[in-house]
Amino acid sequence: MSPTPYLELEGVAAHLGERRVFDNLSLRLNLGEHAVVLGPNGAGKSALVKLISREIYPVVQQDSSLRLFGDRTVNLWQLRQRIGLVSSDLERLYNPRVCANDVVLSGCFGSVGIGRSQTPTPAMQQRVAELMDQLGLLELAEERFGHLSEGQRRRLLIARASVHKPDVLVLDEPTNALDLKARHQLLELMRQLSCGGTTLLLVTHQIEAVIPEIQRCVMLKAGQLMADGPCDQVLTSPNLSALFETPLQLLSANGYRQVLPG
């Protein structure tokens, strides 16, 4: 059976603010295939995430298309139920005074925070409690978001993104600003999520964040697809050196990878 795509880009051009990020990008990402989009700052990673979440739209032009789950037109509410997103942009949107429980609960409504007109159902409350328990966050339920560590906030946003049991979980630079302990805890959580039936899309510039379960590597450089294929074939010292424009040596141990100066 052929794989089922959740994202199909054909000859896409797109802008991020005033900057034209993509001119002719074609890419297909499939359900059930954990993948990493790897590239330096300015490569177009953030723009790709925003195309997936429909925060930006491609330039309308002939022979160009963007499909999500096979459709050109997307209901945003339905999309938020099928694709969970964790990003630093989302983290910055939250009021630091909101309690941790309400951060996760807001995912049920696809909102940032809980509005006066939004009344959580018992089923929603139960789902949130279950997720926070699974992710070791239950004791933090009443803590203010701004009082939590970076690692706790990141796990909280993963819980928020998981409330609808999405088909795809997009993790945009999830290990940024984490200390070693928090980073290792998050990587272990990612490994657990990868075995739970949700397709992971990791978007990062950090090789160390690529967990062993990631099967495919897409390298982006200056808005262009530089390489795409199985991690074992694409993640090499020459490719990484070309991608980041600096000599690099790739080391591997226990399924993880690390880079040293070449």
Domains within the chain, CATH numbers bracketed: 5-261 (3.40.50.300)
Q: Are 229 and 217 in contact (CB under 8 A)?
A: yes
Q: Which residue carries 């591997």 as its tokens?
A: 252
Q: Residue 139: its pLDDT value, please?
A: 95
Q: Residue 244: its pLDDT value, please?
A: 98
Q: Residue 262: its pLDDT value, please?
A: 84
Tens of pLDDT, residues 173-229: 999 989 999 999 999 999 999 998 899 999 999 999 999 999 999 999 999 999 999
Q: Are 203 and 34 in contact (CB under 8 A)?
A: no
Q: Residue 117: its pLDDT value, please?
A: 81
Residues of the chain with pLDDT under 70: 1
- The DSSP symbol for 200 reads E
- List Cβ<8 Å contacts ≥24 apart for 103-109: 103/145, 103/156, 103/157, 103/160, 104/128, 104/131, 104/132, 104/137, 104/156, 104/159, 104/160, 104/163, 105/163, 106/160, 107/159, 107/160, 107/161, 107/162, 107/163, 107/164, 108/163, 108/164
Q: Are 22 and 159 in contact (CB under 8 A)?
A: no
